[in-house]
Copies of this chain bind each other. A is one copy, B any other.
Amino acid sequence: MAGSKIAFGRTLVVAPHPDDEVLGAGGTIARLASEGEEVFVAIVTEGKPPSFDPAQTARIQAEAAEAHRALGVKETVWLRLPAAQLAETAHAIVNGALLELVRRLSPQTVLVPFVGDMHMDHQLTFTSALVACRPHQAEFPKLILAYETLSETNWNAPYLSPGFLPNVFVDITGHLEAKLEAMQLFASQLRQPPHERSIATLRALATLRGATVMTQAAEAFVLIRQVV
């Protein structure tokens, strides 16, 4: 917990849409992989016609595959639920998809989007991930952390929606560049500054989160539950 190697063990990162996992936890993924841990990424949704162009969906998924490879992700799982429509998808279906995944992979650690994010897909992914991680199962994840997502987390309603006040900081000093390179691979999702979803803002956020705990770069999380 306080040594030179993160004690996350086998880790599953749950992302509502491709790029959330990099925005929120790309440096942590890179660090875990470099330390020999198995990291899995589950992308919950994909853009489906008619709301989304299949070519664009394919392009984003290709970008994700490349970014995950660069970060050292062991396996990317595509749950293929409809993007921007989780609120219209039966709750049991989202729960079930994540539950099956947790059972198959038996992760020790699960990283989830933040329930206070603006996008309903994020909120519902969070909720279903918690259902999938309930402690009454034979094996359940011992550590659950919520990550922040630039262009989602800061745009909700201060003091009215749940606020992101981080209490877990992962030092990514040696892995910030890997994170930014992975994000560069998401060309279709990247924006120019001063947009939040830009390299400059990602770098600023890592600098700020790092400074809070006296290190060059960090990713910050809110702890949901930890069993030791």
Check if A165 is an interface residue, CB within 8 A of chain B: yes
Bound form: Cα–Cα A222–B158 in Å: 9
Contact of A142 among B2, B109, B203, B226 (CB under 8 A): B2
> Is the CB–CB distance between B194 and A228 below 8 Å?
no
Contact of A88 among B91, B108, B159 (CB under 8 A): B91
A contact residues, range: 35 or more
> Is the CB–CB distance between A214 and B140 below 8 Å?
yes
List the B side residues contacting A218 at CB < 8 Å: 227
The 8 residue pairs across chains A and B that have the minimum distance between CB atoms: A2-B142, A204-B207, A1-B7, A158-B165, A159-B159, A204-B204, A201-B211, A2-B108
Give residues in A with beta carbon < 8 Å to B: 1-3, 6-9, 51, 84-85, 87-88, 90-92, 108-109, 115-116, 118, 120, 126-127, 130-131, 134-136, 140, 142-143, 146, 150-151, 154-163, 165-171, 191, 193-196, 198, 200-201, 203-205, 207-208, 210-216, 218, 222-228
